[in-house]
């Protein structure tokens, strides 16, 4: 294996050669600037999400495959990937007229499988194998060895790394440098290694920060140990960087050219995705936002600097947006949940809500009657640190006992428990109301004199209309029937309501 100096020298040369290949199948992507005034900070974002496969992986895959001999192309190639690299190989196979077999984990989302098929057409075959990338990779290597196919590695290959390095060449050629910092997400390390080399060659004073997920830091572990080490467990939220063991070649280069290492949490990444949506109207996949997450984590110390990151991909299942939305507020230290003790009696919940600061934004409400004398609703607030500090002080001044439960499992999974035996004649409704501060308190103010709240399930969805499942308890069935008239009379405080049928109610109370 070459030493680090010769490896770096070779990689620099190969990036130059890669220039004339990669643009046969793709075009340069833009470098967008985000200017923040508080603090003053300029963030340059390389938009690889706008490439042919919505990720940078096409660069390395095509550069590697374009150098195969006619015999190798005739035999075909094999690879393993959880998504983006597979799309790059598929695109290259279609352009070069070869056949590619792509091994993907069984858990690979259908969207990514469809994307591979779209880019490769009849030139690609997907084989689902194993529960992890490692299992798929082992199967791909075995199949390639048995059938004489060339294995196209996702990162630990000079030609692949050089192709990925062309994005750094575009950054340099944009004329928007020099840069003070580059925050580069690291999975296998191919993009980070090649990009760091190229940036340092043109901007010698730049500081390269390697960014990994909290439970994905295989490259930092390799650099610390002096050789690649295998992590026992790898978090999959940022699936594009979920690499259990760093590459041999990438580890050598990263050890030389990355100046410092840091990690970001899933919540910080989610917050960065929200930030990029608000600033650039783009929604990257979690791995694509890791560099920006690190910048936002250190934004105060970066005041006055020109900072660079690579938005390396935007291939994500639509269903994952709900998880990201929930994590975003927590990552920005805004979403905080408190379990607050109040008396179990009519009007107590309304009194609590009306004691809160007027501008406090409630985003979650979980409550079920579990005791005859005391209630413990969980209320989620979207609040800045200063707002939350004020909220805590108000609750203390009002004599409420409370505890923070933001990270508790039952709250996270919304396990709202209640004791059916404590209810006499419950009346359940789904409520639709205008999503604005104070709307729920207004509704409760209207009905609290006529009913005792026994159940409350609401979470903010981002819509202009809110939806909640509410339960009220009465001494007799007649009380519930009379309450329907109260609701009709209070129609100005909500949009609509629907009573839950006795059959559904029976299942709720079961």
pLDDT digits (tens, 9 = 90+) for 36-52: 988 899 999 999 999 99
Regarding whether 386 and 287 lie in a shared domain, the answer is no
Whole domain around residue 219: which residue ranges?
4-55+158-330
Tell me the pTM. 0.84
Distance of CA 28 to the CA centre of its chain: 26
pLDDT digits (tens, 9 = 90+) for 162-213: 999 999 999 999 999 999 999 999 999 999 999 999 999 999 999 999 999 9
Regarding whether 162 and 100 lie in a shared domain, the answer is no
What are the tokens at 36?
């923040």
Regarding whether 503 and 392 lie in a shared domain, the answer is yes
Q: Within 13 A of 203's CA, how many CA atoms are on the CB side?
A: 22
Query: 121: which residues sit within 8 A by CB, 6+ positions away?
Result: 94
Regarding whether 297 and 276 lie in a shared domain, the answer is yes
Regarding whether 214 and 137 lie in a shared domain, the answer is no
Domain termination residue (choose one: 117, 136, 151): 151
The Cα 324–Cα 289 span in angstroms is 12
Q: Assess whether pLDDT exceeds 80 at residue 386.
A: yes
Domain termination residue (choose one: 151, 172, 202): 151
Regarding whether 341 and 262 lie in a shared domain, the answer is no
Regarding whether 244 and 146 lie in a shared domain, the answer is no
Q: Within 13 A of 376's CA, how many CA atoms are on the CB side?
A: 13
Mean pLDDT computed over every residue of the chain: 92
Looking at residue 383, what is its pLDDT? 86
Looking at residue 125, what is its pLDDT? 97
H/E element holding 446? helix 439-447
Strands, E, within 131-254: which ranges? 150-151, 181-185, 207-213
Q: Assess whether pLDDT exceeds 70 at residue 1.
A: no
Regarding whether 433 and 302 lie in a shared domain, the answer is no
Report the CATH number that the domain containing residue 271 is assigned in CATH.
3.40.50.1100
Domain count, the chain: 3
Regarding whether 478 and 461 lie in a shared domain, the answer is yes
- Bridge partners, residue 473, by sequence: 426, 452
pLDDT (mean) for 1-7: 80
pLDDT (mean) for 22-47: 95
Around Cβ 501, how many Cβ atoms within 10 Å? 10
Place of tokens 């296998």: 188
Report the CATH number that the domain containing residue 366 is assigned in CATH.
3.40.1020.10
Regarding whether 189 and 162 lie in a shared domain, the answer is yes
pLDDT (mean) for 354-372: 90
What are the tokens at 70?
């006619």
Domain termination residue (choose one: 151, 166, 197): 151
Give the total residue count for the chain: 510
H/E element holding 133? helix 133-147
Regarding whether 283 and 181 lie in a shared domain, the answer is yes
Regarding whether 488 and 443 lie in a shared domain, the answer is yes
């Amino acid at each position: 294996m070459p030493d680090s100096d010769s490896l770096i020298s070779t990689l620099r040369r190969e990036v130059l050669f890669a220039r004339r290949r990669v643009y046969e199948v793709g075009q340069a992507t833009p470098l967008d600037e985000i200017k923040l005034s508080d603090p003053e900070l300029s963030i340059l974002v390389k938009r690889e999400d706008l490439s042919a496969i919505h990720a940078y992986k096409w660069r390395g895959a095509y550069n590697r495959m374009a150098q195969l001999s006619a015999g190798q192309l005739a035999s075909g190639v094999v690879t393993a990937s959880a998504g983006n690299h597979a799309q790059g190989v598929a695109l290259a196979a279609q352009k070069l007229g070869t056949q590619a077999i792509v091994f993907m984990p069984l858990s690979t989302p259908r969207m990514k499988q469809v994307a591979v098929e779209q880019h490769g057409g009849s030139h690609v075959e997907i084989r689902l194998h194993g529960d992890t990338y490692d299992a798929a990779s082992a199967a791909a290597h075995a199949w390639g060895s048995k059938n004489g196919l060339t294995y196209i590695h996702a990162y630990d290959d000079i030609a692949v790394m050089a192709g990925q390095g062309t994005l750094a060449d575009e950054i340099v050629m944009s004329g928007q440098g020099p840069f003070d910092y580059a925050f580069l997400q690291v999975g296998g390390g191919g993009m980070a290694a090649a990009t760091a080399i190229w940036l340092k060659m043109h901007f010698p004073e730049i500081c390269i920060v390697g960014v990994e997920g909290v439970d994905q830091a295989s490259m930092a572990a390799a650099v610390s140990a002096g050789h690649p080490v295998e992590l026992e467990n790898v978090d999959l939220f940022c699936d594009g960087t979920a690499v259990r063991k760093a590459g041999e070649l990438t580890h050598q280069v990263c050890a030389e050219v990355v100046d410092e290492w840091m990690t970001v949490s899933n919540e910080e990444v989610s917050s960065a995705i929200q930030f990029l949506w608000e600033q650039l109207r783009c929604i990257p996949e979690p791995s694509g936002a890791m560099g920006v997450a690190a910048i936002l984590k250190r934004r105060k110390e970066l005041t006055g600097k020109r900072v660079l990151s690579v938005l390396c991909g935007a291939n994500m299942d639509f269903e994952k947006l709900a998880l990201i939305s929930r994590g975003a507020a927590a990552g920005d230290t805004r979403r905080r949940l408190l379990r607050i003790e109040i008396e179990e009696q009519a009007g107590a919940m309304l009194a609590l809500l009306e004691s809160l600061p007027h501008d406090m934004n409630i985003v979650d409400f979980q409550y079920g009657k579990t005791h005859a004398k005391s209630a413990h609703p969980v209320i989620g607030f979207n609040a800045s640190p200063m707002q939350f500090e004020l909220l805590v002080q108000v609750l203390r001044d009002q004599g409420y006992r409370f505890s923070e439960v933001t990270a508790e499992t039952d709250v996270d999974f919304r396990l709202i428990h209640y004791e059916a035996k404590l209810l006499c004649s419950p009346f359940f409704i789904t409520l639709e109301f205008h999503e604005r501060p104070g709307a729920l308190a207004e509704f409760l103010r209207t009905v609290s004199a006529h009913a005792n709240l026994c159940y409350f399930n609401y979470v903010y969805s981002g819509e202009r209309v809110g939806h909640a499942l509410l339960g009220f308890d009465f001494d007799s069935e007649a009380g519930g029937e009379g309450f329907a008239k109260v609701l009709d009379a209070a129609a100005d405080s909500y949009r609509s309501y629907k009573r839950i049928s006795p059959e559904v109610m029976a299942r709720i109370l079961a």
